[in-house]
Structure 1
Amino acid sequence: MSEANTVPTIGVTGATGNIGGAVARSLVEARRGNDAGPSLRLIVRDASRAPVFEGSNADVSVVTASYGDRESGIRALEGVDVLFMVSAAESPDRVAEHVQFVQSALEAGVSHIVYTSFTGAGPAAGFTLARDHGATERVIQASGIDFTFLRDNFYLDVLPLWAGEDGVIRGPAGDGLIAAVARADVVDSAVAVLLHPERHRNAVYELTGGEALTFADVARRTSLLTGRSLRFENETVDEAYASRAHYGAPDFIVDAWVSTYTGIRDGELAAVSDDVVVLTGHPQRTLEDVLAGSVAR
């Protein structure tokens, strides 16, 4: 950020999605009554879907860009001080798209990238998509741009949705534990970092819930609160591949689906961290908190 520009500009990608959109809303709220708050640039693929914040004094602009497009990336990022980079949708080209967007950020002069990574990110991760996140982390570190990595666990909000129409969550997870985190806690953590990035330079945070659950726990507790009867059915790896074959999904997606459960089985997602509490100042939301909000809506 230049000396002439005392108001930082925060770029937010994924603003049409759950995390990016909620982060944008929270940043707009932070600007209310504070003319020195950050300027906000929403970086989206489709401007018609960008959120609109009525009655706000926030300085919000919308630009279009694709991660894999160098020129649009540079145009979108010029003047951005801090970039909230939500990982791209799963695809065989995701890492390449991330590489290009980081290069665009470097060329545009972005000084800090806050990246939504994943628990256990790295080449040895059992969950296949966590390897993509590890590769992206290494690219950001090599760029020389200051960074903050928010390594999210799986979201509490979606675990009950993994049940089929018959109310069964199926997968080879056994009695493995998962320290799943509420989306709202990820948003609160991200906003805390984005508002004061200088305090979180080159830091890595593990964003988890306050407890680790088995899928049997998830099914039982969801059933008690919602009235929908859920249960967990353990599968072998071969059974897991067979039960998902009818979707006709690409091999890398099916591998990701199955490795979600085997990663949990092998303990890769069980560790509980207090980083959400440290960043936000409030305790982590529970599965019941998340479900109660869903039922209320």
Structure 2
Amino acid sequence: MTTFSDQILLVTGASGHLGRLAVEELLARGATRIVAGTRDPAKLADLAEKGVEVRQLDFDDKASLASGFDGVDRVLIISTDGVGRRTEQQTKAIAAAKSAGVKHMVYTSAPAARPNPDAGLNPEHFWTEVAIAQSGLDFTVLRNHMYAENNLMDAGHVIASGQLFGLIGDRGTAYVTRADAARTAAGALLQGEGKTIHDVTGPAAVTNQERAALYAELSGKPVSVIAITPPELKSGMLGAGLPEFVADLLVAFQNDAVIGYHGVVSDVVERFSGRKPQALAAFLADNRAALGL
């Protein structure tokens, strides 16, 4: 693969979890002209000390978009946290990148990105992908599957209660760690060519039954799967105090696992990072403390 390590490489959202890891991976892989874009440059003082150029970059600020992309050859656009506004924000960033003369764009998308109104967050990713394709620039779209870290949010409760609630017909999710996704994104920024779309996944699709078995093995406590319908799942989330729009998004995500969209397994992590992705079992074992064990 061609390596573009001597070109000016911009990572947006560099003060976030994924962005910071991607910048650190670029440094580790010998990139010499790294630009870290962030709304708050003070958060990246440590990276500046390592030779990274830190720029103020806010997708809602037209002036900062122009200065942030100035002179950049290749950019990693990490999807923003502006749920409901992502398409607008990211479309502005794509236009700014094109205007600045960026040659290649990497974007962190989601599996099965599509415009269907019942597809949760996917429409925002889909229309961003459309804007990237319409820009005429070369691109590498990385459809990151569910982060393994998301399991840590409720695993402690699942183990304590002995019950894991999930939709009937779950076909599995190819959980990928944030570190593997970041290393893949850095690799795509260094090596991606042409116009391509990739699924970024862990090494295997893990069903709810398999996940419950992992929790039981780690904790020494029985964990059962309670298979329910989408309305039942939403009702339970609302009862737990989640806002309705959040419940709808989470149900849509789980429904995609039933359809099979999250069960795709690829070798993209290894191809772009040079390492095999970490399995969910190993990730959970490494994070026993977060599980309350």
Output the TM-score relative to the length of structure 1.
0.85
CA shift at 1:131, angstroms?
A: 2.0
Pick one of 153, 164, 167 that aligns with 2:145.
Answer: 153
Match of 2:252 in 1: 259
| Aligned position for 1:13 | 12
Alignment of 1:283 onto 2:276: yes
Amino acid at match of 2:20: G
Distance in 1, matches of 2:148 and 2:262, equals 13
Summarize the Cα distance change of 1:51–1:222 in structure 2 as closer, same or farther, 3 Å threshold.
farther
Residue 14 of structure 1 deviates from its aligned partner by 1.9
Indicate conservation of the 8 Å contact 1:15/1:51, yes or no: no
1:241 aligns with 2:227: no
- Please tell me the residue identity of whatever aligns with 2:253: T
Distance in structure 1 (CA, Å) of the matches to 2:148 and 2:135: 33
Opposite residue 221 of structure 1, the aligned amino acid is: L
Q: CA–CA distance in 1 between the matches of 2:239 and 2:27?
A: 44
The corresponding residue for 1:189 is 184
- Aligned residue type for 1:241: K
8 Å CA contact retained: 1:118, 1:133: yes
Deviation at 1:172, TM superposition (A): 2.2
* Matching residue within 122, 133, 150 for 1:141: 133
Q: Which protein is richer in helix relative to its size?
A: 2
CA distance in 2, matches of 1:98, 1:54: 25
Q: CA–CA distance in 2 between the matches of 1:241 and 1:253? A: 10
Give distance in 2, aligned partners of 1:284 and 1:102.
30
How far, CA to CA, are the matches of 2:171 and 2:113 in structure 1? 19
Q: Are 2:261 and 1:268 equivalent residues in the alignment?
A: yes
Q: Is the 8 A contact 2:199 2:264 kept in 1?
A: no
Aligned residue in 2 for 1:34: none
Q: Which moved more, 1:111-120 or 1:223-232?
A: 223-232
Q: Compute the displacement of 1:122 (Å).
A: 1.7
Aligned counterpart, 1:27: 26
Contact 1:159–1:218 (Cα < 8 Å) also in 2: no
Give the secondary-structure state (helix, strand or coil) at the position aligned to 1:52. Answer: helix
Provide the C-alpha distance between the structure 1 equivalents of 2:83 and 2:235, rounded to a whole number of angstroms.
Answer: 22
Per-residue deviation, 1:249: 5.3
Change (3 A) 1:252 1:135: farther
Q: 1:217 aligns with which of 210, 227, 232?
A: 210
Q: Which 10-residue stretch deviates more, 159-168 or 282-291?
A: 159-168
- CA-based RMSD: 2.5
The aligned counterpart of 1:100 is 92
Task: Output the CA distance in 2 between the equivalents of 1:108 and 1:95.
Answer: 20
SS of corresponding position for 1:43 = strand
Opposite residue 84 of structure 1, the aligned amino acid is L
Relative distance call for 1:30 and 1:276 in structure 2 (3 A) is closer
Unaligned segments of structure 2, at least 5 residues:
none
Where 2:261 maps in the other structure, the secondary structure is coil
Deviations 1:100-151 (A, max 9, x none): 1111212222221100011111224864212211111010110112110111
Code of the residue aligned with 2:46 in structure 1: it is: V
CA distance in 2, matches of 1:92, 1:54: 32
Task: State the distance in 2 between where 1:192 and 1:285 align.
Answer: 17
Amino acid at match of 2:64: S
Q: Which amino acid aligns with 1:191?
A: A
CA contact (8 A) 1:83 1:114 kept: yes
Contact 2:84 2:124 (8 Å CA) reproduced? no
The alpha-carbon deviation at position 96 of structure 1 amounts to 0.9
Q: List gaps (5 residues or longer) in structure 1.
A: 1-5, 32-36
Superposed CA deviations along residues 243-278 of structure 1, whole A, max 9, x for unmatched, are 222566554432211111111112121121122223
Equivalent pairs, count: 283
2:107 matched to 1:119? Answer: no
User: Is residue 43 of structure 2 the alignment partner of residue 44 of structure 1?
Assistant: no
Superposition TM-score, scaled by structure 2 size: 0.86
CA distance 1:132–1:222, change in 2 (3 Å): same
Letter in 1 for 2:27: V
Give, as a single letter, the amino acid of the residue that structure 2 aligns with 1:213: V
- The alpha carbon displacement at 1:43 in A equals 0.7
Tell whether the 8 Å contact from 1:68 to 1:96 is kept in structure 2 after alignment: no
Letter matched to residue 172 of structure 1: L
Change (3 A) 1:277 1:29: closer
